[in-house]
Amino acid sequence: MGNVYGYMRVSTKEQNEDRQVRALHEAQVPEKNIYMDKQSGKDFNRPRYQQLLNKLKSDDLLYIKSIDRLGRNYEEILEQWRILTKDKKIDIVVLDMPLLDTRRGKDLLGTFLSDIVLQVLSFVAENERKNIKERQKEGIEAAKLRGVQFGRPQKPLPENFMQISNRWLLGEIRGSEAAKMCGMPVSSFYRKAARSRKGK
């Protein structure tokens, strides 16, 4: 029997990893052997996962809370599973899915069943990622239709802006001079002057 490791992942810094921590502690994974990334599961270019991959050796045991914590890309989950179990020759236990425990069912039927379960769960994980992105997109579009502004709020134009931009348009002053008189960067002055002309 080799070393026991645990892997956790949350998509954002705001997400809470307590459930995963508790599950790995209950599985008696040593604290020093728990690796965590705060990153999207769309691929496996994650620093802590890559460190773990380099650390793992034959006969080690890896615990994860659920398959979507490993990743959310169908093909890449299957590829990483193959690397871990076939190339690295480690065992994996997915705590939320007892059928995904490579320590048991090493015969042909057991391998076949775990392969089917893995493929189904990997598909579900990727499909959920796509659904999340679609819901986000729909939410943003709906908010825009309601008039919600995204990004930094626009600063109000200086009181002298129209007068100065008109002088600039008439060629009385240069753009850099006009921007300075309005107290804004040159690029902002040009952009807002163009926008005010369109609005006329």
Give the whole-angstrom CA distance, residue 99 versus residue 117: 7
Comparing C-alpha atoms, which of 40, 35, 34, 33 is closest to residue 71? 40
Residues 6+ apart with CB under 8 A from 34: 5, 6, 7, 8, 21, 24
Residues 6+ apart with CB under 8 A from 184: 158, 192
Active site residue 11: yes
Q: Counting beta carbons within 10 angstroms of the beta carbon of residue 193, is it exposed (0 to 12), middle (13 to 18) or buried (19 or more)? A: buried
Contact assessment for residue 160 and residue 189, using Cβ atoms and an 8 Å cutoff: no
Sheet holding 34-38, edge to edge: 34-38, 4-10, 61-64, 91-94
Contact assessment for residue 67 and residue 121, using Cβ atoms and an 8 Å cutoff: yes
| Catalytic residue ranges | 11
